[in-house]
Amino acid sequence: MISTLSNIIFVIGFSFIILFLYSLSKHRNRVSGLFSLMCLTIAIYLIGYGFELRSENIEQIIFFLKMEYFGTSFMTTIWFLFSYKFYFNKNPSLRLKIIVMVIPILTLFFNVTNEYHHLFYTNISAVQHNGFLIVHLSRGPWYFVNIVYSYVVLLLGSTFFYRVWKNSLYTMRTQALLMFIGTLCPGMMNFVYLLGLSPYGLDLVPFGLSILAILYFIALFRYDFFDIGDIIRSVVFAEIREGIIVVDDKKRLIDFNNAAQKVFSCLKVVNIGINLSDVEELREIVEYESSPFEIEMVHNGCIQYYEVRVTDLTEKNKIVGSVFFIRDITKQREMIQKLETMASYDDLTQVYNRRRLMEEAKKAALRVMRHKSFLSVLMIDIDFFKNINDKYGHLAGDEVIKTVIRSCEERLRSTDIIGRYGGEEFIIILPEANLKNSLRIAEHIRKHVEDMEVTYDGAVIKVTISIGVASNKSNAETINVMKVIDDADLALYNAKNSGRNRVSS
């Protein structure tokens, strides 16, 4: 029986060596290093225990007991650091590593030097059973310190896996449950051993570890935990300012960083594994077929603009997922809009400048031609504007221009177009308005300006305007915008020569 048991333990031990080597090959993953170390410490313990069972004398038993603790001392501690990183998704701090390593280092030291102080074992003896030696250990005070410490870190690590299981969804939930169950098995076996309930006083932990190995293997490799989870970590994943979202080849959420979480509020640890197509907030970024592309998001009532670039993740020439890089381009968009405004609008009045005015006038002409309708133009000039500048100053003149423009805008339709033609001259384009209606609108504007007062620096300034009105011929096949403007300019000339403060056509 002992021979068979040792053979089984050797098989389990070498299985952990295979897991150790396999996890090393997954060096890009954030937990592969800790997991491989954990496998190595378990393998050392199991192989040492297998040789202990085959020992022929007490000296060999003591030697292999010491060998076991080169793995056993650090086994639970490294597992705890592994569970910490799995739960918090970040490296344990150097301070935490030092704190949790103090007792394991002392445990190894006291075990190796036990014959000088007997703090770990007060006595080590062996009895014969079917030709094999079975060790009997009298435990010293530090042994129980180590046991208490081991169960504390096991409890904490199990709590991490339990919380991930309770709070997560999809793949992460399954992984966490498998790890949680796997973690309980060695602890329960060790508890049976400590109570003296194991047959012949044999340590049953190796069998608990075999169950742990199976469940961890399924959790970490069957669910592709190593295949994609940390490919992007090498670029300071969590700290980079650019938002990053990692998905697998089925568009399931694998990971994200803090910057991406600020853009998409639905990015939470509990949603790891969710398909992006099932979330309205994220659906937009997976539906685009080209890269890069831009999206709009509303945050705190303000529109934010983001550029999204998509990069495929490949493993052995096979696409295993994608990375979405999200960059805030709000300031750039605002700058472009500002430049476009500067290129299209008059700086003083904030209406179209002459270039943009002519562009909009031609567009309006094309629209009314399709309906064989009218296009009318009002050419407006502020009367005796030079006298206003000379008497009140140029700043007062600027205020007069702005006030007149605001007065005109208040009396226009949303489809009408107004722009500064030059100096104190303005043009209003009236789509779908014939000459009769245009004259009525022009007279209404002229009368309102005549009745208003402009106040500047304590001075009250009275203003009048002259308006020239022109319209295209009825049912014209084409509309020459410049010809209509020239006609309005000629009509304005007539209005000014006729005494100003009047409308002419």
Tokens 């000379």 -> residue: 390
Q: Are residues 65 and 124 in the same domain?
A: yes
Write down the pLDDT at residue 424.
Answer: 87
- Cβ distance 87 to 71 under 8 Å? no
Beta-strand ranges (E) seen in 131-263 are 132-139, 243-248, 253-256
Beta-strand ranges (E) seen in 115-238 are 121-129, 132-139
- What backbone phi and psi angles, to 5 degrees, belong to 416? -75, 155
Q: Are residues 63 and 195 in the same domain?
A: yes
- Number of structural domains (the chain) is 3
Beta-strand ranges (E) seen in 223-317 are 243-248, 253-256, 293-299, 302-315
**Angstrom distance (rounded) from CA 370 to CA 458:** 51
Q: Are residues 350 and 429 in the same domain?
A: yes
- Cβ distance 87 to 272 under 8 Å? no
Q: Are residues 246 and 221 in the same domain?
A: no
Tell me whether residue 477 is in a domain: yes
Side chain identity, residue 162? Y
Tell me whether residue 142 is in a domain: yes
Give strand pairing partners of 248: 321
Among 333, 357, 376, residue at a domain's last position: 333
Tell me whether residue 339 is in a domain: no
Q: Are residues 379 and 310 in the same domain?
A: no
CA-based radius of gyration for the chain: 42
Q: Are residues 267 and 188 in the same domain?
A: no
Instruction: Enumerate residues 6+ apart whose C-beta is below 8 A from 314.
Output: 320
User: pTM (2 decimals)?
Assistant: 0.47
Write down the pLDDT at residue 227.
Answer: 42
Contacts by residues 259-266 (CB-CB < 8 Å, ≥ 24 positions apart):
259/326, 260/324, 260/326, 263/297, 263/304, 263/306, 263/326, 263/328
Q: Are residues 355 and 310 in the same domain?
A: no
pLDDT along the chain (505 residues), means of 10: 76 84 67 80 87 85 90 88 78 88 95 93 81 79 91 85 66 65 70 64 65 69 48 49 86 85 82 83 80 82 87 81 88 82 81 88 86 88 90 90 89 88 90 90 91 87 92 72 91 91 91
- Cβ distance 156 to 80 under 8 Å? yes
Q: Are residues 319 and 380 in the same domain?
A: no
Q: Are residues 308 and 443 in the same domain?
A: no
Write down the pLDDT at residue 86.
Answer: 73
Q: Are residues 275 and 419 in the same domain?
A: no
Tell me whether residue 324 is in a domain: yes
CATH of the domain at 271: 3.30.450.20
- What backbone phi and psi angles, to 5 degrees, belong to 183? -70, -35
Among 312, 333, 354, residue at a domain's last position: 333
Kind and range of the H or E run holding 392: helix 385-392
Q: Are residues 214 and 111 in the same domain?
A: yes
Q: Are strands 465-471 and 375-382 parallel, antiparallel or unpaired?
A: antiparallel
Tell me whether residue 340 is in a domain: no
Instruction: Assess whether the previous peptide bond of 104 is cis (omega < 30° from 0).
Output: no
Task: State the residue range of the domain holding 54.
Answer: 2-227
And the tokens for 328? 């805030």
- Cβ distance 183 to 154 under 8 Å? yes
First to last CA, the chain: 118
- Using DSSP's 3-state secondary structure scheme, residue 389 falls into helix
Q: Are residues 297 and 353 in the same domain?
A: no
Among 175, 197, 227, residue at a domain's last position: 227
CA angle, 274 then 275 then 280, to 5°: 100
- Cβ distance 232 to 239 under 8 Å? no
- Cβ distance 504 to 468 under 8 Å? yes
CATH of the domain at 45: 1.20.1070.10
Tell me whether residue 158 is in a domain: yes
Tell me whether residue 338 is in a domain: no
